[in-house]
Structure 1
Amino acid sequence: MKRFHGAGPAAAGGGANAADGVMPGRPGGFALGGADSAADAEKRRGVRRMKALAAGLLLAVALVYALAKWAQAAGAGGWAAYVAAAAEAGMVGALADWFAVTALFKRPMGLPIPHTAIIPTKKDQLGRQLGDFVGENFLSPEVVRLRLRSVGIGSRLAAWLADPAHADRVTAELATALRGALTVLRDTDVQAVVGETVTRRAEAAEVAPGIGAALERIVADGGHRRVVDLVCARARDWLVLHGDSVAAAVTGGAPGWTPRFVDRKVGERVHKELLRFVTEMRDMPDHPARGAVDRFLADFAHDLQADDDTRARVERLKSELLGRGEVQDVIASAWSAVRGMIVAAAEDEHSELRRRTRESVLSLGTRMTADDRLRAKVDGWLEDAAVYVVTTYQNEITALITDTVASWDAEHTSRKIEAHIGRDLQFIRINGTVVGALAGLCIYAASRLLGA
């Protein structure tokens, strides 16, 4: 009987294969690793106890059978035959179920019987079938849509986002993610991309018509007059403070044969007339010079849009400006300024960026709670996204199952599986013994009854 017991399902224990793969799971869950966990050891002890119980029951039935046969031979009465029949059938049931349970994990008594050691020999096939089963029954678009629709993600998400505490959490997580993304990006790479993008877009687009249209609207609305007022005011202030500079400039440009006092008089006169002209232009909205400026700007705006020569000149000027290193440095450095502002706003809990983000999250949650159509749209987007993922990557997901199972060591896999389900399988042996005995008793009783 010891040999029979040892040939049953693999006993607990045994060293782990160092080459086994590792599939981390929940505490106490199925995992293939080099060493057994405490949960695995406890499961193995449970399997050993159940195996001992099943084997003990078989020994008890065999002992009952031997005693019943002895009593029958000694003329104890008809009851001994019934007991012997029940015990005999119980032994047959126990042996048959022992064979079935053992065949799952190893070859019974080491004999090369066909269709035994199913898990070690067909591990890869089982992995493929498991992957196909998951793909067909869990990753189909219909199943995914039905499951997501029954969950009601839109309603749950709306209620979750409408909670101020959750909105704060979302805002904080978004700020953290934003800071992390900006930290990972290298400034030199981003600056190069920004500079190239801005330059390429600027070179591809003709700017003259747009500038002309904008200037035309500004002149039509009188928006340029404030600029003219500012220029006139500043020019007058400069002339008041630098009258000597104007006089010196006129004197320096005078011929050498003119008397000095005449040059000074001319310089003073020129300064006085310039000051009068600028003052009148500043104080008189209808000054002829202002009208000339209006006409010049209007004509220039028209030429920017309609005159080919003017437009070509503007494009050449644009290309020259974009080609200058100073302009490229300004374009590239814009990223550093923007990045600094975003990081500072993301880190500041009271910044306008985080405040508006929080308000937007709360507003979205409130709108989704009250708007059935919006919730339906969100549900539809999530369903479409999930269906796209499972249909596009179904083969990769099922291949993950298949390849993972294929990477497991066959012997160690059998031991692990037995540790997790072996205790329940031993109940099959116990049930087989009990059911076999009852069936044998019924069959023997029926045969005696029919024979009588």
Structure 2
Amino acid sequence: MEKPVITATQRLAVPGPSPEMEALRRTELRRYKALATGLLLIAAVIFFGCRWWEAQGHTGAWVGFVRAAAEAGMVGGLADWFAVTALFRYPLGLKIPHTAIIRRKKDQVGEALSGFVGENFLNAELITEKVSKAEVPERIAKWLVEPDNAEKVSREVGKFVANAVNALDPKDAEAVIRASLIDKLSKPEWGPPLGRVLQKLADGGQIEPLVDQFVAWMHKKALTSEDFITRVLDDRAPIWAPRFVNELVGDRVYRELITWTAAVNADKNHEARHAIRRFINQFIDDLQHDPTMIARVEEIKTDIMNSSAVHDAAGTLWNSARDGLISAARDDQSVLRRKIVELSMTWGEKLQTDDELRYSVDQRITGAAAFLADNYADEVTSIISETIERWDADEASDKIELMVGKDLQYIRLNGTIVGALAGLAIYTVSYLLFTISPL
């Protein structure tokens, strides 16, 4: 597959240091270039000075030694100047083959660099070994047991939770609540499940306290019903009936009523209690098996589910849950934040003391690292080659020279000095062999 052509507008600016640091590096680079060039010029001046001295007819063995050293130093310095310059630009502007290497071979350098990183740094075997030797679980455990670090975990988790909740679209959250809760409540029939729940409660004896509460409530109401009974009798009695007769009848009815409710309240086996139990059991059975009762409950369910309160319930639930979560996430003294601190320190202590847990965590970490290396190394290393490919060639060459040019100037210095020493040594050997007469 052919690579897409990078246009000029798609070129990326080469990242670099701050303007102040870049200016400092350029000053240092110029200084070291001037030093290397100055040493080369000194060698050239010495060489031509020696040649001029010899051309004047002066003799002396020392001239040959100095001239040879200067000549070799000059040649070495020129050769290394050419080599260093050829990395970044054309020497003297001459387009000599195999020069301006970084500018012309930028993309190939990026591919080679990405391949080198992938083969030597992002292979599963090497990463697994390094991760295993790093003892990550031990370091995590040691870090987590510190209270200040546990507080940091709580703080960062709180920030994440608050930001995540704020980032959620309320409409999406309401849709999830409606689909997972409200819509599911409206699908099944309510009668049979409700009947089965009540049946289990009745079989377990949990309905009996309700009977007791109902009977006690009925007796309390009876105790306060004297005026009500009298008023009802007054409204229902004939006009010609004397008032004292109504009061006597009302008092009689009241006394009979409270006597009966007191008896029902005191006697667990009272017939009225049995009637209430039979009514409840029949109601439970009708909820499960009577089509009329089931249909009636479904009508009630439909009215409830179509009500505005239920329709707005998703938004209300989400607003309440969102506000509660955000408040708890931001409050460092909330139950949520305190629980995160407690869990962080507890988990750190377990990692320190539980060998199996520590081994399991280590295996998971190394396994995850190996998986990422096996499956995503190419994607990671491709970032290197693709990024370098998008760099402007001239700017990339300039930035790279700015980073390493100072050290490369030492090559020029060494070339001049080593060349001079080599030239001196070679001339000395030849002088000893061919100039000094043997004894």
TM-score range, shorter chain: 0.7 to 0.9
CA spacing shift, 1:38–1:355, aligned 2, 3 Å: closer
In structure 2, distance between residues paired with 1:266 and 1:388:
92
Given that residues 69 and 81 in structure 1 are in contact (C-alpha distance below 8 angstroms), is that contact kept between their aligned partners in structure 2?
no
CA spacing shift, 1:379–1:299, aligned 2, 3 Å: farther
Greater length-normalized contact order (CA 8 Å, ≥ 6 residues apart):
2
What amino acid sits opposite 1:413 in the alignment? A
1:442 matched to 2:406: no
In structure 1, distance between residues paired with 2:240 and 2:113:
110
Pick from 105, 112, 118 the counterpart of residue 135 of structure 1. Answer: 118
2:339 corresponds to which residue?
356
Given that residues 90 and 96 in structure 2 are in contact (C-alpha distance below 8 angstroms), is that contact kept between their aligned partners in structure 1?
yes
Coordinate RMSD, CA, aligned: 3.7
Q: How much does 1:322 deviate? A: 2.6
Given that residues 141 and 351 in structure 2 are in contact (C-alpha distance below 8 angstroms), is that contact kept between their aligned partners in structure 1?
yes
Given that residues 14 and 399 in structure 2 are in contact (C-alpha distance below 8 angstroms), is that contact kept between their aligned partners in structure 1?
no
Pick from 291, 304, 319 the counterpart of residue 321 of structure 1. Answer: 304
What amino acid sits opposite 2:35 in the alignment? L
What does 1:334-413 align with in structure 2 at a 5 Å threshold? Answer: 334-413=317-396
What amino acid sits opposite 2:45 in the alignment? L
Pick from 189, 193, 199 the counterpart of residue 216 of structure 1. Answer: 199
2:101 corresponds to which residue?
118
1:39 corresponds to which residue?
21
Q: How much does 1:158 deviate? A: 0.9
In structure 1, distance between residues paired with 2:295 and 2:264:
34
What amino acid sits opposite 1:226 in the alignment? P
Question: What are the Cα deviations for residues 239-269 of structure 1, in whole angstroms up to 9, with x where unaligned?
Answer: 3334555676688799x99989999998887
In structure 2, distance between residues paired with 1:432 and 1:47:
18
1:86 corresponds to which residue?
69
What amino acid sits opposite 1:137 in the alignment? N
Question: What are the Cα deviations for residues 61-113 of structure 1, in whole angstroms up to 9, with x where unaligned?
Answer: 12222233344453523443333333222222111111110011100111111
What amino acid sits opposite 2:70 in the alignment? A
In structure 2, distance between residues paired with 1:146 and 1:433:
45
Pick from 38, 41, 55 the counterpart of residue 56 of structure 1. Answer: 38
CA spacing shift, 1:294–1:408, aligned 2, 3 Å: same
What amino acid sits opposite 1:241 in the alignment? T
Q: Percent identity?
A: 38
**TM-score, with structure 1 as normaliser:** 0.79
2:216 corresponds to which residue?
233
Pick from 130, 135, 138 the counterpart of residue 155 of structure 1. Answer: 138
**TM-score, with structure 2 as normaliser:** 0.81
What amino acid sits opposite 2:362 in the alignment? D
In structure 2, distance between residues paired with 1:388 and 1:128:
23
Q: How much does 1:348 deviate? A: 4.0
1:171 corresponds to which residue?
154
2:5 corresponds to which residue?
none
Given that residues 247 and 270 in structure 1 are in contact (C-alpha distance below 8 angstroms), is that contact kept between their aligned partners in structure 2?
no
1:422 matched to 2:395: no
1:281 corresponds to which residue?
264
Given that residues 160 and 166 in structure 1 are in contact (C-alpha distance below 8 angstroms), is that contact kept between their aligned partners in structure 2?
yes
Q: How much does 1:419 deviate? A: 1.8
1:106 corresponds to which residue?
89
In structure 1, distance between residues paired with 2:322 and 2:117:
46
Given that residues 14 and 391 in structure 2 are in contact (C-alpha distance below 8 angstroms), is that contact kept between their aligned partners in structure 1?
no
Question: What are the Cα deviations for residues 186-230 of structure 1, in whole angstroms up to 9, with x where unaligned?
Answer: 545433431232123324556656544432332233222222222
Unmatched 5+ stretches in structure 1: 1-16, 25-29
Instruction: Choose 290-299 or 127-136, whichever is displaced more.
Output: 290-299
Instruction: Choose 310-319 or 58-67, whichever is displaced more.
Output: 310-319
Given that residues 19 and 409 in structure 1 are in contact (C-alpha distance below 8 angstroms), is that contact kept between their aligned partners in structure 2?
no
Q: How much does 1:308 deviate? A: 7.8
In structure 2, distance between residues paired with 1:201 and 1:317:
16
1:66 corresponds to which residue?
48
Given that residues 211 and 277 in structure 2 are in contact (C-alpha distance below 8 angstroms), is that contact kept between their aligned partners in structure 1?
no
1:181 corresponds to which residue?
164
